[in-house]
Amino acid sequence: MSRSDTRLGIWLMVLTTFIFGVQDALSRHLAETYNVLLIVMIRYWFFAAFVIALSARKSGGVRAAARTCQPVLQIVRGLLLAAQICMTVLAFTYLGLIETHAVFISYPLLIAALSGPVLGEAVGWRRWLAIVAGFLGILIILRPGFAVFSPYALIPLASAGMFALYGLLTRLAARQDSATVSFFWTGVIGAIGMTVVGAWYWEPMSRPDYGLMAVLCLSGAFGHELLIKCYEVAEAGAVQPFAYLQLVWGAVLGILVFGERLGGHVVLGAAIIVGAGLFTLWRERGRAA
């Protein structure tokens, strides 16, 4: 891997996190007016169309992308991610972008904690210390005992847990299926599942909101395209730390667009979580080497 490829991968990851940050801001804005299930359902319609079009361009076409020997696992993965996205958007409406992202970035630590029981991987004491530190960071953000604790604060934590489980199931699926197959099933199953539950909440949008919904769908497809390109040109370990920039973009957009406040406890807790996550990533890279 050349140095220029790594640099390009980093810049692609920075741009990807910004696009996903804009996507989160649009999701929060629309979900304040319309039902969360409706917003996510329309997103998934576009996402499924994007996945099918992408699969059709690859060798073997859609038929090859749909061929799997573990359909139950792929269906569970797809439905789990759809439910996780609904939980995250719901958290945006109750807690805002800043606090939701600050708690959600704990998902790499949850992946490390769950990799033992789900994948049978060994988790050493250093990584367990990082996991404990990360959860201390979550407690600092949520501040139980310092104010009336809101049960809504548990929504982003549940979302992080669901995303961590989705990541582990994706790694489990990768033992027999290619990334193309998993990506296809993620989009198609998610769209089917969201249509089953979201169609009941259909309502017409205003013309400006239809425009914002179109931007939301396009930004999602473009962001995934950039993310795929990012991992094609650079090693995952080199660019993954920059994925935490989505927390920064979320904070900036939350403050400038929605008037959110960045509390000192959120900064401290998020810094601990990010530090623990980076340490976990460093340990995984060391073990791989």
Cβ atoms 109, 135 nearer than 8 A? yes
Find the farthest-apart pair of alpha carbons in the chain and give their distance in angstroms, rounded.
58
**pLDDT for 4:** 47
Q: Which two tokens stand for residue 75?
A: 């269906």
Backbone angles phi, psi at 147, to 5 degrees: -155, 175
Cβ atoms 221, 46 nearer than 8 A? yes
Q: What is the pTM of this model?
A: 0.84
The amino acid sitting at 32 is: E
Cβ atoms 134, 272 nearer than 8 A? yes
**Any idea what the Cα angle at residue 138 is, between residues 161 and 107, rounded to 5°?**
30
**pLDDT for 148:** 42
Backbone angles phi, psi at 259, to 5 degrees: 70, 25
Tabulate helix, strand, coil % of the chain (nearest 5): 85, 0, 15
**Residue 147 DSSP code:** B
**pLDDT for 190:** 94
d(CA 43, CA 215): 10
**pLDDT for 45:** 94
**pLDDT for 150:** 67
Cβ atoms 154, 87 nearer than 8 A? no
Name residue 138's beta-bridge partners. none
Q: Among all chains, which residue has been given the structure tokens 């490829």?
A: 5
Per-residue pLDDT of the chain (289 residues; tens, 9 = 90+): 444 477 787 788 889 889 989 999 999 999 999 999 999 999 999 999 989 998 888 888 889 889 998 999 999 999 999 999 999 999 999 988 988 888 887 877 777 777 766 666 666 667 667 767 777 777 777 665 444 456 787 898 899 889 888 888 888 888 888 888 888 999 999 999 999 999 999 999 999 999 999 999 998 888 878 877 877 777 666 677 777 788 888 888 888 888 888 777 778 877 887 777 677 666 666 555 5
d(CA 273, CA 289): 24
Name residue 147's beta-bridge partners. 144
